[in-house]
Amino acid sequence: MTKKHSGSCKCGKVSFEVELANYNVTLCHCSDCQKISGSHFANIHHKGALAFKGEEYITEFDSSNWAKRAFCNIYGSNLYYKLKEAEGYSLAAGLFDDQSEFVLKTQYFIDKKPAYINIANASNNMTEAEIRAKYNF
Ligand SMILES: [Zn+2]
């Protein structure tokens, strides 16, 4: 997949182009994602570095001891989740101009999902305990 995928925030001040290794979308239902995005956080991971246009419009903050998150400081678009110790970005799926090839692959913190949300797609669903065991935090 060497196709470039473009994305931007709502106001368009922050934008990027990225070559994605796959089109696997993860939905995270953890309380941080809910508080920050207003709902679950649908994201697609890019392993490498990424040059954003409009960096001056990006506000990045520590959301935990191990991760940072960022938003556009004009309209507040949720941009990404990023581990402090690793390169790569979990980019908000909704930023992408073309999501037609994206596939829901995994749901994290399925045990924290509000009861009113029922996603019918087949996906690999992981509880908080399973995630903590897998990623050792
Ligand atoms: Zn989360």
**CB neighbours of 50 closer than 8 A, spacing ≥ 6?**
16, 18, 89, 91
The tens digit of pLDDT for each residue in 96-117 reads 999 999 999 999 999 999 999 9
The tens digit of pLDDT for each residue in 36-90 reads 999 999 999 999 999 999 999 999 999 999 999 999 999 999 999 999 999 999 9
Q: Find the CATH number of the domain harbouring 65.
A: 2.170.150.70
Could you tell me the distance, in angstroms and rounded to a whole number, from the CA of residue 106 to the centre of ligand 1?
Answer: 12
Domain hosting 29: range is 4-135
- HSE (side-chain half, CA atoms, 13 Å) at 62: 5
Q: How many domains does the chain have?
A: 1
Report d(CA 22, CA 118) in Å as an integer: 25
Could you tell me the distance, in angstroms and rounded to a whole number, from the CA of residue 26 to the centre of ligand 1?
Answer: 10
- Neighbouring residues of the ion ligand 1, judged by CB less than 5 Å: 28, 30, 33
Report d(CA 104, CA 107) in Å as an integer: 8
Could you tell me the distance, in angstroms and rounded to a whole number, from the CA of residue 76 to the centre of ligand 1?
Answer: 18
pLDDT at 137: 78
pLDDT at 1: 53
C-beta separation of 67 from 33 below 8 A: no
> What pTM was estimated for this model as a whole?
0.93
